[in-house]
A and B are shown apart, each in its own frame.
Chain A
Amino acid sequence: MTVTPERIGLFAVRALCVGVLAFLLLPILVIVPLSFSASSFLVYPVTDWSLHWYRELFASAEWRRAAANSFLVAPAATVIATVLGTLAAVGLSRVSFAGKGLLLAVLISPMIVPIVVVGVGAYLFFAKLGLADSYAGLVLVHAALGTPFVLTTVSATLEGFDRNLARASASLGAGPVRTFFRVTLPVVAPGVVAGALFAFATSFDEVVVTLFVAGPEQTTLPRQMFTGIRENITPVIAAVATLLTVFTTALMFVLEVLRSRRSLPG
């Protein structure tokens, strides 16, 4: 093999790529060993190993309540977002009308509007309705933030859906509701599950709206982390971070399995 400028160039590009992948991945891995350290400082090298911080985490009433809140709010928001997003995606697939582009722009805008604007607006409006500092208010806004993900993933799956299946079902005497549940839904199910996972992750990681519309009773895991990092970052935070990373990575692998089974678009 001769050393040509192109080869050197390609090698440089590949080295840069490996560097970028390391930049993406390593910071997340760095925090894991520190959660098992006996030291109360978040520094390497780790000399003594211990589960002390995990015991402290599980004994903490604050963190337990935050986890309970997160696992209450995120699934509730996910269910609402998934049902509404899926219905809209089914309705909007393969039909065109004046104003559809604008309608879609509005439906997708929760992904785009700055989260602080959503938080302040929701606080102002919900305070008037008595929904400030309530679980209901938090679930509703989190559901709204998740709907664009459901809408886009289910729509993408429907692009590949053979409408003749639904027509065949109708011609065989099934009503539209039955056709939806027995024919359309099973076909687009991977898209629905993927959208639901995105909606779940959106709520599960949301902190800014929570800062505005949730009271102390509704503190979620991200909000507890936000407070913890701002005040005094301890190895307990590293323990939470480790558990969260394991959990979200598991969610992601579920999604990847779904993606490889059916041709789910990106």
Chain B
Amino acid sequence: MAGSEADAARALARDRRARVLQALGLTAPLLVFLAFTFLIPIGALLMRAVENPEVARALPATVAVLDSWDTVSAPPDGAYRAFADDLLAMAEPADAGGLARRLNSELPGARSLVMGAFRQRESFATLDAPAAKAAFLALDERWQQPELWRVIARNGSRWTPDYLLASVDRRRDATGDVVAVPEEQAVFVRILLRTLGIGATVTLVCLVLAYPLAWWLSTLPVRKANRLLILVLVPFWTSVLVRVAAWIVLLQSEGLVNRALAGLGWIDRPLELLFNRTGVIIAMVHILLPFMILPLYSVMKGIPRDYQRAAVSLGSHPLGAFVRVFVPQTLPGVTAGVLLVFILAIGYYVTPALLGGPADQMLSSSVAQYANVELNWGMACALGAVLLTATLVLYGVYRRFATGEGLTA
């Protein structure tokens, strides 16, 4: 008897293993695909946030010489010689261009210094170290400033925390301590707070508008509720760009909203509703509202009304019964909806880009600005890493709260 039980247990375990293997086998194609198209690209972004290849790649000899420099006294003559060698070793002007841009981002004016020396590099070919120094100084006096060489020495390593520090308004000072950047340069914490602030405002407005609607829908017969839900789903399916275009038409100074308000006599001249915070928030609420309504409705639909009725029959005021009996049961839906809308909102790019002004741009816009306009990929990726971190922390919380539905368990 005991033997056959052990056999059965073994067979069960074998069956379980086979099913897990089958599950992994069927999931593997998707996982490999996502690794290639999604996970590795995100890894590339995170790598680029701490990578600092320009100086290390363009100036290997100079960096080696500066290694033994005390960073305070005059730069050694050998550094000028090494810099000339590094310039002579460059294959094409683009290499010097990348270096010049990198140095210029830390020391304004460095671009013209580097490009000027690059154009004259042939003349440095045969000079010894003191002569090389003299030749550089003859080109431009600024070659003797220690700050320039300090910037080169500081960026000589292939990896750097500087972009990540900069993305939270910190930097390393001359001695390597982490300090706050000067007040007038501190922009990113403000943009991060603005991003979270816009996200919170949009989430709150969505909750206030969605809660009564979801409640009302949940009290209706299913057929009627489904028919009204279509009105929620049409905008959900409509292109975000269509909706942005619609809001531009509605909110412009001679648009329907301003005309209606003027017609009612509430305003004398058109309100500024576009290219400012108002327009951004209205359009974002419009786009994200369905993401709040649907989880709230699906939770409320499953709540039996008996407890509320019991509370009323026991003498509670209907409003009191609603607040103390019904609302607590909807909290899982509220948490899911709030987190989902907030997570989606802080990643928004299109709506602020098209409907906001410069003071309404969110973290995503800074990422795009550094990537597309400044071509500063280190900064773009560091800001992207900050945005990703905030999102993933919230996503972790969301997965803890969202239970019981399909795959979320």
Residue numbers of A with Cβ under 8 A of B are 6, 9, 13-14, 16-17, 20-21, 23-25, 27-28, 30-31, 34, 42-44, 80, 84-85, 87-88, 90-92, 95, 97, 101, 103-110, 112-126, 128, 140-141, 143-144, 147, 151-152, 155-156, 159, 201, 204-205, 207-208, 211-212, 222, 225-226, 229-230, 233, 237-238, 241, 244-245, 248-249, 251-252, 256, 260, 265-266
Contact = CB atoms under 8 A, between A and B. Distances in A.
Nearest to B24: A91
B42 A117 contact: yes
A81 B236 CA distance: 21
Given A24-B289, A241-B246, A252-B233, A92 B27 contact: yes
B102 to A, nearest CB: 17
A241 B242 contact: yes
B384 interface: yes
Nearest to A159: B406
A35 B27 CA distance: 46
Given A92-B23, A117-B45, A17 B216 contact: yes
B213 A21 contact: yes
A114 B347 contact: yes
A112 B406 contact: no
Given A144-B33, A147-B33, 19 more contacts: A24-B235, A25-B235, A87-B30, A88-B26, A91-B23, A95-B23, A97-B23, A104-B407, A112-B344, A116-B364, A120-B367, A123-B371, A124-B44, A140-B36, A147-B34, A159-B406, A208-B349, A252-B233, A256-B233
Contacts, number: 273
B249 A30 contact: yes
Contacts of B406: 152, 155-156, 159, 265
Given A87-B30, A222-B239, A121 B213 contact: no
Contact of A84 (B29, B240, B387): B29
Which residue, B39, B226, B290, has most C-beta atoms of chain A within 10 A?
B39
B185 interface: no
20 contacts: A16-B212, A16-B213, A24-B235, A42-B252, A87-B30, A88-B31, A110-B38, A112-B392, A114-B387, A123-B371, A125-B40, A125-B41, A147-B33, A151-B407, A201-B237, A204-B239, A205-B240, A229-B244, A233-B249, A238-B249
Contacts of A152: 406-407
Interface of B: 19-20, 22-27, 29-31, 33-34, 36-45, 48, 209-210, 212-213, 215-217, 226, 228, 230-250, 252, 254-256, 259, 286, 289-290, 294, 298, 318-319, 343-344, 346-347, 349-350, 353-354, 364, 367-368, 371-372, 377, 380-381, 384, 387-388, 391-392, 395, 399, 406-408
A13 B37 CA distance: 46
Which of B244, B259, B286, B294 has the most A CB atoms < 10 Å from its CB?
Answer: B244
A225 B367 contact: no
A143 to B, nearest CB: 7
Given A6-B318, A124-B48, A252-B234, A95 B19 contact: yes
A42 B45 CA distance: 41
A195 to B, nearest CB: 12
A43 B242 contact: no
Given A31-B242, A207-B350, A116 B249 contact: no
A24 B259 contact: no
Given A30-B256, A105-B399, A252-B237, A20 B22 contact: no
Given A116-B347, A207-B241, A245-B238, A107 B212 contact: no
Contacts of B243: 27-28
Contacts of A114: 346-347, 349, 364, 384, 387-388, 391
B37 A20 contact: no
Most buried by A among B249, B294, B354, B391: B249
A43 B254 contact: yes
B391 A113 contact: yes
A106 B40 CA distance: 13
Contact of A121 (B24, B44, B238, B250): B44
A91 B21 CA distance: 9
Contacts of A23: 209, 286, 289
A28 B213 contact: no
Nearest to B29: A84
A119 B37 CA distance: 11
Given A91-B23, A251-B237, A34 B38 contact: no
B247 to A, nearest CB: 6
B250 to A, nearest CB: 6
